[in-house]
Amino acid sequence: MLGEMAKLSGRSLVGFREGAGSGNPLYAHDPTTGQQLQPGFIPATAEEVDGAVQLAADAFKTYSRTSGRERGAFLRKIADRLESITGDIVERAAQETALPVARLQGETARTCHQLRLFAQVAEEGSWVNARIDHADPERKPLPKPDIRSLMRPLGPVVVFGASNFPLAFSVAGGDTASALAGGNTVIVKAHAAHPGTSELVGRALQESVRECGMPEGVFSLLFGHGSQIGIALMKHPLVRAGGFTGSRTAGRILMDVAASRPEPIPFYAEMSSTNPVFILPGALRERADNIASGLHASFTLGAGQFCTKPGMVFLERGSESDKFAKKLAELVAGSAHFHLLTGAIHSSYDSAIAKRKANPAVTVLAEKQHSGAAGFCAHSAVFETDTNAFLGSDLEAEIFGPTTLLVRHSSREQILEIARSLEGHLTATIHGTEQDLRDFADLIAILETKVGRLIFNGFPTGVEVTHAMVHGGPYPSTSDGRSTSVGTQAIFRFTRLVCYQGFPDNALPDELKEANPLGIWRMIDGNLRK
C-alpha cells in the first residue's frame, strides 16, 4: 500500500496550492481487470487553468534569470526526491499501466538520469550558443558594429504527459526537464491513463520548487479532459510553447490550435511512427533466425506500445525470407498475452487488427489468441503482404500494439521505390553486411530524408538519453522534424535567439561579457573557444 506521504488527493497542483476542481472525476483503470482505481481525479476549472498559467508567467520573470548552477541544483533535487519515493511510484504505476515492475524501475532510473543530465547541461552553460563578433571601426566603407547573440528561454511551456511512458515522457520527463533546464516554467497536463503516478511525481516536483526557493508557478500539474484542458492551455495568450507525445489525431488538433492563435507559438508533437525495417540480402542469408528473434522481442516489447516499435519489415522473396517468416511465426505463436494501457488503446488495436484481417491483399502469418483473458488483453500477430499491395495503400499506418507487417519485394528497384514512398518516421533500421551497405548506398541516402534516426544491425526500441540522440523525424512522426524530444539537444526547442548590438560590456548577459565570467565555450570572431 502507498505510504502515508504518498496518499493521493485527486486534485490539481496549481503552484503551491491544491485545486478544488469541478465536474465528474476521472479514474484510472487496472489494465489486467478493467476495474476502476481510486481515487477519482477532479478536472481543473477554467479559473485554475488560468491561474496556473498566470503563476507560470509571473514566475518566469524570476526563474528565467536564475543561474545555470541554480537550475542544475533544482533538477538534481527533483531527481533525488523521485528516487526517495521510487517504491510508491512503481507500485502505483504498475496498477495503472500493467507494465512490469522491472520496466517501471528502469524508467524511474532513466527519468532521474535525464534530469541530472540536463542539470549538467544547465550548470556547464555552453548550450546557450554564445557568439561574439567584435567591432571593427576601421572597416571600409562602413564601420562594423559589435554584435553578440545567445539563446534565451521562451516562457511558460505546456507539457502533455504520454500514455505509454508514465515517467520518462510525463510529469518529470524529457519535455519538462529540457524546458526547466533552459529557464522556462512548466504546466503539465497529466495523462488520464496514469493520474495517480502523475500526482506522486507532481508532488515531488512541487516540493522541490519549495525547497530550492524557486518562485511559485515554476511548476503546476493539471488534471482533466485533454480536449478541454489541453486546448484551453494551448490557446492561453501567456503560454509560449507546447510539448506533446501521443496520437496523430490529438497531436494534429493541438498543433493546429498552436498555429491558429492570434500569436502562433511553437508546438513540438511526437505523433505516430511505424519505423520501417529493411533486411538486406546478405544479412538475411547470414542470420535470419537471429534477426527474427530480435524483431519479435522488439515489436512485442511493452506490448508493442512504443513509438519506436518496428511495425513494417521489408525483405526480398526467396527461400531465406521463407525461413525468416517461419521462425517469426513460431515466435509469435509462442507469445505470452499482453495487456494494453487503456480501454481506448485496446479498442483501437482490435479494430485495426480486424481491418487488416479483412484486407484480401494481406495474409495472417501467425497470431496468438488467449481466450477468456480479462481486462485490456491483446494478442500478438504478424501479417504478410507484397510490394504491389503495400504501395498506395494505408498499410503504412501505425498500429499501437504487439503486431508487425512483413512486405516481400522482388528487386532492388522495388525496395528503393518503397523507401521513396514512405512518409516521415522516427526511425528506420537496416540489417545488412558491409557489402549490403555498399550495394544499397542509395537506400541510406533516401532514408536520411525520411527519418530522424538510422539504426544498423539493431532494433529501434530503446532510446538512449545522450547528447547525440535524435528522437524526432519528418511530419507526421513529429510536427517539426528539425528537433528532438530526447537527449540534451531537446533544450533548444524551448528557446529563441536574442542578439545584442553595440552594448557596453557591463550591460551584457554574463554569457556574452568579454571576460567570459562563466567560462563557457563561445564562438568568437568565427572561432570556437573558451
Contact 150, 509 (CB under 8 A): yes
Sheet containing strand 241-245, strands side by side: 17-18, 13-14, 219-222, 186-189, 157-160, 241-245, 267-270
State which amino acid sits at residue 143.
P
- How many whole angstroms separate alpha carbon 529 and alpha carbon 439? 41
**Distance separating alpha carbons of residues 486 and 243, to the nearest angstrom:** 12
Note the Cα 155 to chain centre separation in Å: 20
Task: Give Cβ neighbours of residue 432 (< 8 Å, ≥ 6 apart).
Answer: 278, 279, 280, 282, 283, 440, 456, 457
CA distance 245 to 222: 17
State the catalytic residue, choosing from 91, 270, 396, 511.
270
Told to judge if 499 belongs to the known catalytic residues of this protein, a careful annotator would answer no
Q: Shortest CA distance to 341 belongs to which of 193, 197, 160? A: 193
Give the 3-state secondary structure of residue 359: coil
For the chain, the distance separating the N- and C-terminal CA atoms, rounded to the nearest angstrom, is 53
How far apart (Å, rounded) are the C-alpha atoms in residues 455 and 309?
Answer: 13
Q: Rounded distance, CA 9 to CA 3, Å?
A: 13
Nine-digit cell string for 402: 504487439
Note whether 29 and 98 are within 8 A (CB): no
Strands laid side by side in the 276-279 sheet: 363-367, 381-386, 403-409, 312-316, 276-279, 425-431, 451-456
Is 124 tagged catalytic? no
C-alpha cell read off for 376: 485490456
SS3 content of the chain, % helix, strand, coil (to 5): 40, 20, 40
Q: Which residues pair with 496 in a beta bridge?
A: 152
Q: Cell 500478438 belongs to which residue?
A: 380
Using CA atoms of 330, 332, 334, 335 in order, give the dihedral in degrees to the nearest 10: 160
Q: Look up cell 478541454; give the residue.
A: 228
- Specify the 3-state DSSP secondary structure of 470: coil
Alpha-carbon span 320 to 305, nearest angstrom:
29
Sign of the alpha-carbon torsion through 513, 517, 522, 525: positive
Phi and psi (nearest 5°) for 313?
-130, 125
Catalytic: which of 48, 96, 199, 307?
A: 307
Catalytic annotation, residues: 270, 307
